Structure 1
Amino acid sequence: MGTDPYAALATELHLMGRRLDALGAELMRLRAVEGAGVPGSEGFPGAAAPPAAPQPPVPQSPVTQGWPDPRGTGGSAQVPADHGGGPRAPRSQLSGARVLAWTGGGVTLLGVALLLALAASRDWFSPLGRVVSGAVLGVALIALALRLHRKRDARIGALALAGTGFAALYLAVAAATALYFLLAPLPALLLALVVAAGGLGLADRWRSQLLGCGVVVGAAVLAPVLAWGWLLVALVLALQVAALPVVLRRAWPVLAVVAAIGPVLYGAAVAGLAYPAGRGSTVAVAIAALVAGLSTALPAARVLGARPVGVLVAVTPVPVLVAGAVWGGWSGAAVAAVAVVALAAFAAVPGTRTPVRVAAVAAAALALFQATLTALDGSTATAVLLAQAVVAAVLAAQLRARLPLAIAAAYGLVAVLTAIGRDAPVEGLVRYPSISYAGPGSGPLLAGAAVSALVVAVAVALLVAGVRAGVVRSGAASAPLWVPLGVAGCYGVTSLLVTLGLLVSDDRTGFTAGHALATVSWTAVALVLLARGIRRPAPRIAGMVLVGAAVAKLVLFDLVALDGVARVAAFLGAGLVLLAAGTRYARLVAEAESEPTEN
């Protein structure tokens, strides 16, 4: 009868497991002896070991699990875990090692720079020999870093060596271009890009975001030495595009932001310092930086967090905005409008996360604001800003969204303050004749009336949008929001009626008639608010406050500033409206009290 092959295999596995158990027990005993530090036990295998400290259970392999422990403890044999790295150094020691390594790299790099400068001043070697020696040193440092990186405990030094090597290569390229004129700008840029690509590839292989950022920063710092103008922006744009695959592969947010800083800074600097003859190419590279930044942010939003992508989107239009501000006029407004369109298109991409979309819309709103002020000035700019605020508020009311409401509030705040200070000034309301509306023709009065009407429209639109968006409520907690809107609305109504009165009769009669109508209108609006506030405290309080304001205006201003029929009309009109308001309000209160309350 033949031997069962499965039984033989099981027996062999059992014996092998027993041997592994014995080996594991011996290793544990030796480690216990070494850890205890018993005098006289070194070198004596038979020396008695002190009791070992209890060890946490280690997951068993399928071979040894459940087999008896050969030490006779009645448990299962445990094989000590091997983490592969031995005892790890404390974090403070690792930080100190990093500081020493990178400090050494910086000192070495300074030595390379001093060597190139000293060789140039003392005429050592030929220019080509100096550049080649610096490049050879950089390549040697990178090669040594590649060799050291194979050892786990030498990887900190390997990163420092690699960063120093790439920096030395950048110095060699800079010396060959700006110091010895051995390379033209375009070949030097291509060579710098090759060095940067090699560094990014090595950072990707080593999974080191720090090395990738160092390579990009080194190339960006070198860039102004090699070129200026559109060529400089093109270099840092190429760096940003080259870093994109690594960013997407490793999901490195810091590298994405660092790679985007170069095009923003250099694009803004080039746009701000460009001569009029070179503004065309400057605008072209600024728009290219915008497109490249948004094109980078679009795939990066799929793998990175919302915060770094939002920062990336928010800073990309800076070169375009600087170029538009420097250009000025309608041409500058057209440049800023490009940023508006690009950012709006980015925000409309399906699947874009809300924080990123908010950043894009906010940047687009800022670009639109700049385009408006760049193309227009005076009361026209104020009127257009107020109209834009009304449109944004209507959009917020329709969508019940807070982002367009915030944009409308920002636009409206700036425009209303501008209107009060310049286009519909306070002086035109409290004194006649006013220097503010002086001038040939009725142009200033027409502009003041238009701006005042838009101020009223903005106040009403913001109030309605705030209610529909859930920001303004009927409670007293919303008072800091609707009280400024009410004050702006009252100011706009008063300014509108006074300017219309002056347009009808450009004398004191028109001025006083406008104020009389304004006082009556305040009282009428107060009646409406009181009627709406039977069961809601906020309109009721606002109506009572507006009644007090109307009475204060009658006594403190109209009684002194108005005369004749206008004064009588103001007091009679306001008094009759107040009487009607009191009668109607008492009836509404009685009807509300007589209605049965629902349980």
Structure 2
Amino acid sequence: MNATTSSPGPESPADTVNRIRGEFADITRRLSHASDELTALHGVLLTQTAAPAQPVHTPPIPPQPTPTQAPQLHPLQPPTATFPPPLFTPNYRVPQYAPAPPRVQPLPPPPRPLPVPPRASTAEKMTAASEGGLIGKILAGIGVAITLIGVVLLLVLAAQAGLLRPELRVAGGALLAATLFGIGVRLGHNVQKRSGAVALVATGVAAALFDVLAATAIYHWLPDYAALLVAAVLAGGGLVVAHVWDSQALGLMVGIPLVVLAPFLAGGDDEILVAFLLTYVAVTLWIQLGRNWTAMFITNTAVGTLPVLYGLVAWSSDDQWFFVIAASLNVVLAIVSVLVLMRSSTRPVILALTSSATVFPMFGAVHITGGPLASTLLGVTAAILLALAVAGRPLGVPVPVRVVWLATSSVTALVACASILEGAGLAVAVAGIAVVTACAAAVGKVSGTGGDLNLTVAVIATIATGISLAGTLLSGAVAQLLFADALPTGDQALMLITEVLTLAAIVVLAWSWAQGAGGEQLQAIWTVGTVAALWQVTLLCVGLGALIGGGSDAGIRGGHAAATIVWVLTGAAGLLWARRQRGSARTVTLSVSLSIIGAAVAKLFLFDLATLDGVFRVIAFIVVGLLLLSLGVAYAQSLNSDDDRSVTPR
């Protein structure tokens, strides 16, 4: 059987074109389908990142026919969907991923409320205080006080009542002191028993000092120098225990009873009492080395200062040299103590303030020593404190301590001036201090060193200048404005010197405060300075006129006329200066300048017109009128010039 197989004939060009066109169309369709699948996959991924999403089912792509031969198409017939098989599997599905469950952080448990501790009862508090040693310390302190009072009674009241012989009293006090000291040192070897041992040692040392003081002041068995030597050995040697045990309480238990009870043993001999206590202060200084014992330093300062302060009331002019020596030694001991102890102290400012308190007895020295000696004593003290404040940096003196000493020096200098001067002379001295401190503040501003120290100098200069301004009022300067014979000729000359110095202090001080200031603060400084300087210029003009006129009315009138003219000139200068300023600074300067000119015009009509006569009235009105006229013309032209310059040409 013969089978006949027909083979396809060759493609015509039209068939080839149609076949290629169909293939391109199929490729385009498949690419479009792939793009749709990628878009769907992108949406699924976005949905999974935002929230748990439902799985997306993509419908399968229907299979495409795979004919063995493309149909014959007309050249103008569009291609059909029957083309060769696809280049990749059409049943591709987008892989589905199950979203991961969100990780929920467990909430922390709520915080448990802190248990409120129950309030301790009084019995529990007393038990805790007993276990902490507080009750023992209180009882020991009370025991020290009562025992030492008993020793004083033994040495004083027993002698007055004649109960025991003097030898027995002194020997009994010495035996009691030695016994207490020995037992205290013995017990102090045990640290747990040291609190009680401190009280025993302190009582023994204080009792021994009282015994020596009684033997010297009451019974006169020991010369003064021998008593001081023995007291130095007992105090310095006995308080070695305080240094070794690092016990400030031991020093306090000796110093406080000493300053309270020692006057009862002096028997009215204040000189031996002061010398005795100053010796104690001096020999116990080394015990505080390397210790931060502020309380003991304050106590020792009181031990040396209170008897000297009491001497202001009890002593007379016969004791002036002893007072000078005692007060000077007290101040020197305090200052030296600060220089030695401030390296180990955490409160150097308190030490400096305490040492400054030793100057107080000198403030009343004029009642015992007289003016010249008191002024010299205070002046030397002020110079020493000033030198330490200015040159204390190489000695390691911190700035706060230097500030305290500088302030103390300025106050001491003022009191020194007041001790020897009064009236116009005192005003000159105060004005001189104001000028010196103002210049120091200006130098500090220029150098830019010192910080708080320069600020303190500026504050002191301001206070001194204010006192000087008030001094001109109290010294008759206001009366000099109205009456020709208000001050004698000598006082008028001193007043002129005061006014010149005060004016210089105001100018320098205003410049010093103005450095570094700005804005409204700067304007306020210059405003206050200008008003104060204008007041001093007025006093200066009137005082100079009175001095030149020999205290006549004509001289005062001439001074007032000159003062009015100076007021107008000052206001005019301020108005011209305001042209160079802008904003609030210009407003303030204009307001102040116009106020000064207004005050000058008011003075011209209310005072000068009624008080001045003759040529002075004519001069005042003409000069003031010409000044205001010239100022008005010049100021108007300057404003027009400014307006012209501010217009921008087109």
Residue of structure 2 equivalent to 1:544: 594
2:416 aligned with 1:378? no
Residue of structure 2 equivalent to 1:90: 128
Take 2:529 and 2:368, find their aligned partners in 1: how far apart are those partners?
Answer: 35
Residue of structure 1 equivalent to 2:299: 258
Q: Structure 1 pair 529/96, CA: closer, same or farther in 2 (3 Å)?
A: farther
Q: Secondary structure at the match of 1:342?
A: helix
Q: Which amino acid counterpart does residue 315 of structure 1 have in structure 2?
A: A
> Out of 460, 463, 481, which is 2:507 matched to?
460
Residue of structure 1 equivalent to 2:626: 576
Residue of structure 1 equivalent to 2:252: 213
Q: Structure 1 pair 207/340, CA: closer, same or farther in 2 (3 Å)?
A: same
Q: Which amino acid counterpart does residue 539 of structure 2 have in structure 1?
A: S
* Counterpart contact for 1:297–1:313, Cα < 8 Å: yes
Q: Structure 1 pair 303/578, CA: closer, same or farther in 2 (3 Å)?
A: farther
- How many Å apart are 1:503 and its aligned residue? 3.7
Take 1:153 and 1:241, find their aligned partners in 2: how far apart are those partners?
Answer: 32
Residue of structure 1 equivalent to 2:341: 300
Q: Secondary structure at the match of 1:307?
A: helix
Residue of structure 1 equivalent to 2:535: 491
* Counterpart contact for 1:324–1:336, Cα < 8 Å: no
Residue of structure 2 equivalent to 1:79: none
> Out of 557, 562, 567, which is 2:617 matched to?
567
Take 1:120 and 1:236, find their aligned partners in 2: how far apart are those partners?
Answer: 23
Give per-residue Cα distances to partners, 1:42-79, cap 9 Å, x unaligned: xxxxxxxxxxxxxxxxxxxxxxxxxxxxxxxxxxxxxx
Name the stretch that deviates more: 526-535 or 107-116: 107-116
Q: Which amino acid counterpart does residue 254 of structure 1 have in structure 2?
A: A
Residue of structure 2 equivalent to 1:416: 469
Name the stretch that deviates more: 341-350 or 203-212: 341-350
Take 1:166 and 1:596, find their aligned partners in 2: how far apart are those partners?
Answer: 93
Q: Structure 1 pair 515/96, CA: closer, same or farther in 2 (3 Å)?
A: same
* Counterpart contact for 1:196–1:219, Cα < 8 Å: no
Residue of structure 2 equivalent to 1:143: 182
Query: Normalising by structure 1, what TM-score?
Result: 0.74
- How many Å apart are 1:181 and its aligned residue? 4.3
**Which structure 1 residue ranges, 4+ long, deviate > 6 Å from structure 2?**
none
* Structure having the higher Rg: 2
Name the stretch that deviates more: 149-158 or 239-248: 149-158
Q: Secondary structure at the match of 1:352?
A: coil
> Out of 307, 329, 333, which is 1:288 matched to?
329
Name the stretch that deviates more: 397-406 or 563-572: 563-572
Take 1:105 and 1:124, find their aligned partners in 2: how far apart are those partners?
Answer: 24
User: What is the percentage of aligned positions where both structures have the same residue?
Assistant: 31
- How many Å apart are 1:373 and its aligned residue? 2.8
Give per-residue Cα distances to partners, 1:532-578, cap 9 Å, x unaligned: 33232443433233223223322332233234443343333323323
Q: Which amino acid counterpart does residue 593 of structure 2 have in structure 1?
A: G
- How many Å apart are 1:369 and its aligned residue? 1.9
Residue of structure 2 equivalent to 1:84: none
The 5-angstrom pairing of residues 391-402 of structure 1 reads 391-400=436-445, 401-402=454-455
Take 1:229 and 1:179, find their aligned partners in 2: how far apart are those partners?
Answer: 12
Q: Structure 1 pair 427/114, CA: closer, same or farther in 2 (3 Å)?
A: closer
- How many Å apart are 1:209 and its aligned residue? 0.8
Name the stretch that deviates more: 130-139 or 201-210: 130-139
Aligned residues: 501
- How many Å apart are 1:146 and its aligned residue? 2.8
* Counterpart contact for 1:196–1:215, Cα < 8 Å: no
Q: Which amino acid counterpart does residue 571 of structure 1 have in structure 2?
A: F
Residue of structure 1 equivalent to 2:9: none
Cα RMSD (Å) of the superposition?
A: 3.3
Take 2:160 and 2:432, find their aligned partners in 1: how far apart are those partners?
Answer: 66
2:243 aligned with 1:198? no
Give per-residue Cα distances to partners, 1:485-521, cap 9 Å, x unaligned: 4443222211222233334445444333322221121
Q: Which runs of 5+ in 1 are unaligned?
A: 1-87
> Out of 140, 149, 169, which is 2:208 matched to?
169
* Counterpart contact for 1:199–1:212, Cα < 8 Å: no
- How many Å apart are 1:123 and its aligned residue? 4.9
Residue of structure 2 equivalent to 1:133: 172
Q: Structure 1 pair 329/232, CA: closer, same or farther in 2 (3 Å)?
A: same
Q: Secondary structure at the match of 2:383?
A: helix
Q: Secondary structure at the match of 2:343?
A: helix
Q: Which amino acid counterpart does residue 277 of structure 2 have in structure 1?
A: V
Q: Which amino acid counterpart does residue 502 of structure 2 have in structure 1?
A: V
* Counterpart contact for 1:392–1:408, Cα < 8 Å: yes
Q: Which amino acid counterpart does residue 612 of structure 2 have in structure 1?
A: L
Take 1:394 and 1:318, find their aligned partners in 2: how far apart are those partners?
Answer: 28
* Counterpart contact for 2:274–2:304, Cα < 8 Å: yes
- How many Å apart are 1:402 and its aligned residue? 2.3
2:395 aligned with 1:343? no
Query: Normalising by structure 2, what TM-score?
Result: 0.69
* Counterpart contact for 1:522–1:546, Cα < 8 Å: yes
